[in-house]
A and B are shown apart, each in its own frame.
Chain A
């Protein structure tokens, strides 16, 4: 292991000065010159009497708790010394994701590490944006023997910190357009076993005794039962347009890019519907078309958050269409498409899904003030033209029956869900 420790320029200087001064002392017959070499000779002999063999070990510690954007991160670095002699100096550097604001993480740290011991560096800070944010890689270089020997840098791979997106409060009071399962949170239009009172009718063979409404039965002197509407569940598919990223993300307290809005809105909508007992699935509209199968409950909510951490811009070559067909989507699912509607293929996809009879709601994730950077005098005009063209696309989508709404947090989907539910109730026939 000694080859990992190399002599420094200080050792060369020590040996050179010692040898030269002694040589000159002998040649010139000068005791003082020999004595000037004494500290260098004594220092080198003392420091090199014991030399290190083991390399320092660096470990990165990072928060494993449920961390949300804007939350406090507790990261740290630990440098261990398994050798029998202390390290006089260990310089540790680490890189961190730009979305983790850790104290002094942009500077190297210099510390001593005792023999067979360790030293720790705390890196408290704040998580600024959702995603898998890296702490590291970290590198350490140690010097021992009074700086006469130094080891080669030891590098430790990065450690990811999972930062979950903030979920803006979201609620939708409107009924689902189409409930699918037998049991769920939504009242259906059919009579059946459920909690929602539909009316009171005369007892008929097959009715359960516990359904008898005794007050009405005593008054009318005939057996009556309370009839209820059956409870149904629904599937919500969140379709995330990841064909491109637009806008600059400023973290949790700054501006939002398209992907920021997409991920935060998806988390909020998923939390809302999963809390109500619905089944939620997710699908990416991009090159890899990642998919999360539909499920319900708290476990699915955590899976959704984990799945959202890996969302990134996943463009598809303009010559090809992303692999998504209406047959991939359940006919009874409510499809919430989170899209900036910048790519014409996204608008085509929305129109096709609606034509195929899916219940589609488009959520516009483009930041309201987003505009290309001004390059010359024609840029404002070009931007206006682009905005007019985009408004035209939105209008055509609405004509196709695709409600498009800008994401605005709580209650922002109520109006469109009401429209979709009304359309779902209408007789179909194309």
Chain B
């Protein structure tokens, strides 16, 4: 038992000694995105209570274990918090909150994808994280424009938000189905 602990401690020390700067920054970015998403999604009253500790742990989990299901779990818990806040606590769905949450979730997701394939001790060319982050920010920018337009539509146009959501959801679901079918056919 003691020998196993000593072995693990030695292993951790080796990992810390071999860590290089860019993988460290990538993992730091994952943690920041997770914390930001949790802070935006969950109700402020819960965040100021003792429940903040498990939420912080879940938000930082993908930074330490990017290869597992941690990022998926963290994203689902963040979305759960958003639903609790907007449906349970009747918080207002502000435009900035939707954009911030979508951006934090997506950037966290892409940085986790990068950390999953990037060894912690790698010698990394600077263009790797630069291009990776650039593509993510482009997607975030396009999505932000879409979010602004869509929320503007629901506010300005005549019609029920339920109908707009149904329409957009169906269109998006059809697109995802087509994408999956294409992937399956090629695979």
Interface residues of A (CB under 8 A from B): 2-3, 7-10, 12-26, 28-48, 51, 88-89, 91, 104, 107-112, 141, 143, 146-148, 150
Contacts and interface: CB of A to CB of B under 8 A. Distances in A.
Given A8-B113, A33-B79, A91-B119, 18 more contacts: A9-B67, A12-B72, A14-B109, A20-B76, A26-B169, A26-B170, A32-B82, A39-B139, A40-B106, A42-B143, A47-B135, A91-B117, A107-B121, A110-B124, A112-B125, A146-B110, A146-B132, A147-B114
Contacts of A30: 86, 161, 165
Interface string B139-167: 11011001100110010000011101110
Given A26-B166, A31-B151, A110-B123, A37 B117 contact: no
Contacts of B101: 36
A91 B105 contact: no
B36 interface: no
Contacts of A104: 123
B116 interface: yes
Interface stretch (B27-35, B43-51, B53-61, B179-187): B179-187
Contacts of B86: 30, 32
B147 A38 contact: yes
Nearest to B182: A48
B165 A108 contact: no
Interface residues of B, number: 69
Interface string B78-93: 0100110011000001
Nearest to A46: B139
B122 A31 contact: no
A48 to B, nearest CB: 7
Interface in B102-132: 102-103, 105-106, 109-110, 112-114, 116-119, 121-125, 127-128, 131-132
A91 B115 CA distance: 12
A43 B106 contact: yes
Given A35-B150, A38-B102, A41-B176, A25 B117 contact: no
17 contacts: A3-B187, A9-B68, A9-B69, A28-B87, A29-B160, A29-B161, A29-B165, A32-B93, A33-B83, A35-B147, A36-B82, A38-B147, A39-B103, A40-B109, A89-B118, A91-B117, A143-B117
A38 B143 contact: yes
B119 A32 contact: no
A109 B119 CA distance: 9
Contacts of A143: 117
A108 B113 contact: no
Contact of B117 (A13, A33, A150): A150
A19 B125 contact: no
A88 B162 CA distance: 40
Contacts of B166: 26, 29
A21 B76 CA distance: 9
A112 B131 contact: yes
